[in-house]
């Protein structure tokens, strides 16, 4: 174990864990534990890649402002990179984002621009538009635009995909992962399919998002509100490489949250709702398989960010996700 010059050098090289308790044999499920990145999520990878690339290309200089729209995890990674690279950080975040994420961002000195997450995507004050409006007002701002910038995908094509391939020793039948910006699942999928075109990729969407309808070629419905952070979107965005996806599954809030709690209770993995969504998706896929399969999935962020929501019995019960309120 070498001594690092700064904590960004700890990004990546996360472990892979066999989920034998929540998915018993004959199937084998390997989970890439991305919440062990420095700020607790897979988004540290794109934050490091996008900021360092922008600095190298002269698109931002010392003291400049990094601006992004984020559900919290990318914001955390960009906050870390801004501190280490002498930059300032301004994040557009939904007011509905978990209290733990908002408090963590403030602790890292992020200037928060809070928006109403219920506004339609075309509204200039919506989560989807506010960062674009602010970036257009000041050309000196570096706006990574994680929802439309394919460098998001490239970060995972270069790092996450190769790590998964090496750790699984090239033996993968299925890759199952959530789709938020689409960067993780798309970059990894493209890399894995280049190594072995037989690998099937299943992306997990959330009920209320428009991704699944777009993938299926159906007319886009009006987006509906949901509580799961980090998956889905109200409109089709630029990063998802739908051509690399073989199938999509749509999870409900309750299904994702209960599966996340099961990961904690049975595997000792305190992970967030999108990790629960991934586990739910793995089970949906394997329920249709007639032969033993080797599956890789990905746990994007830590459950520490949802102690007041997913891991609070009262919060869960009030929303109908648990039968009765306990402590919490």
Is the distance from CB of 299 to CB of 278 less than 8 angstroms? Answer: yes
- CATH number assigned to the domain with residue range 7-37+153-318, chosen from the 4 options 3.40.50.1100, 3.30.70.890, 3.40.640.10, 3.60.21.10: 3.40.50.1100
For each of the chain's 328 residues, which pLDDT tens digit applies? 799 999 999 999 999 999 999 999 999 999 999 999 999 999 999 999 999 999 999 999 989 999 999 878 999 999 999 999 999 999 999 888 888 989 999 999 999 999 998 888 788 888 878 999 999 998 889 999 999 999 999 999 999 999 999 999 999 999 999 999 999 999 999 999 999 999 999 999 999 999 999 999 999 999 899 999 999 999 999 999 999 999 999 999 999 999 999 999 999 999 999 999 999 999 999 999 999 999 999 999 999 999 999 999 999 999 999 975 444 4
Coil, helix or strand at residue 152: helix
What is the domain partition of the chain in residue ranges? 7-37+153-318, 43-137
* 147-166 pLDDT, tens digit each: 999 999 999 999 999 999 99
φ/ψ bin of 182: left (φ > 0), alpha (ψ from -120 to 50), beta (otherwise): left
Residues contacting residue 270 through CB under 8 Å, at least 6 positions apart: 263, 264, 302, 303, 304, 311
b (16+ CB within 10 A) / e for 147-164: bebebbbbbbbebbbbbb
Do the two domains 7-37+153-318 and 43-137 of this chain adopt the same fold?
Answer: yes
- Is residue 43 among the annotated active site residues? yes
pTM here? 0.94
Per-residue pLDDT reduced to its tens digit, 167-189:
999 999 999 999 999 999 999 99
**What DSSP element (H or E) covers 112?**
strand 111-115
Choose, from 43, 101, 130, 193, the residue flagged as catalytic: 43
**Residues paired with 315 in a beta bridge:** none
DSSP-assigned letters across all residues of 31-77: EEEGGGSTTSBTHHHHHHHHHHHHHHTTSS-TT-EEEEE-SSHHHHH
Q: Tell me yes or no: is domain 43-137 CATH 3.40.980.10.
A: no
């Amino acid at each position: 174990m070498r001594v690092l010059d700064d904590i960004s050098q700890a990004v990546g090289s996360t472990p892979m864990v066999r989920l034998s308790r929540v998915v018993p044999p004959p199937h084998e499920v390997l989970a890439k534990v991305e919440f062990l990145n420095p700020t607790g999520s897979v988004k540290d990878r794109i934050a490091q890649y996008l900021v360092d690339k922008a600095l190298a290309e002269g698109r931002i200089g010392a003291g400049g402002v990094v601006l992004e729209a984020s559900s919290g995890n990318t914001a955390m990674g960009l906050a870390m990179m801004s501190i280490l690279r002498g930059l300032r950080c301004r994040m557009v975040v939904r007011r509905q984002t978990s209290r733990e994420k908002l408090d963590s961002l403030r602790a890292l000195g992020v200037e928060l621009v809070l928006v109403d997450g219920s506004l339609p995507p075309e509204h200039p004050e919506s989560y989807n538009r506010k960062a674009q409006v602010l970036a257009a007002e000041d050309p000196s701002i570096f706006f990574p635009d994680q929802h439309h910038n394919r460098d998001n995908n490239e970060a995972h094509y270069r790092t996450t995909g190769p790590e998964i391939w090496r750790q699984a020793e090239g033996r993968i039948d299925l890759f199952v992962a959530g789709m938020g910006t689409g960067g993780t699942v798309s970059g990894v999928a493209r890399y894995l399919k280049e190594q072995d075109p037989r690998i099937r990729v299943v992306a997990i969407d959330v009920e209320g998002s428009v991704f699944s309808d777009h993938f299926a070629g159906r007319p886009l419905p009006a987006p509906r509100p949901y509580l799961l952070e980090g998956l889905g979107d109200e409109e089709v965005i630029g990063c998802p490489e739908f051509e690399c996806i073989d199938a999509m599954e749509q999870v409900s809030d309750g299904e994702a949250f209960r599966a996340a709690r099961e990961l904690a209770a049975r595997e000792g993995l305190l992970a967030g709702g999108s990790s629960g969504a991934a586990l739910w998706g793995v089970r949906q896929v394997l329920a249709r398989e007639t032969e033993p399969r080797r599956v890789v999935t990905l746990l994007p962020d830590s459950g520490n960010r949802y102690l007041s929501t997913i891991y609070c019995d009262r919060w869960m019960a009030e929303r109908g996700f648990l039968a009765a309120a306990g402590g919490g």
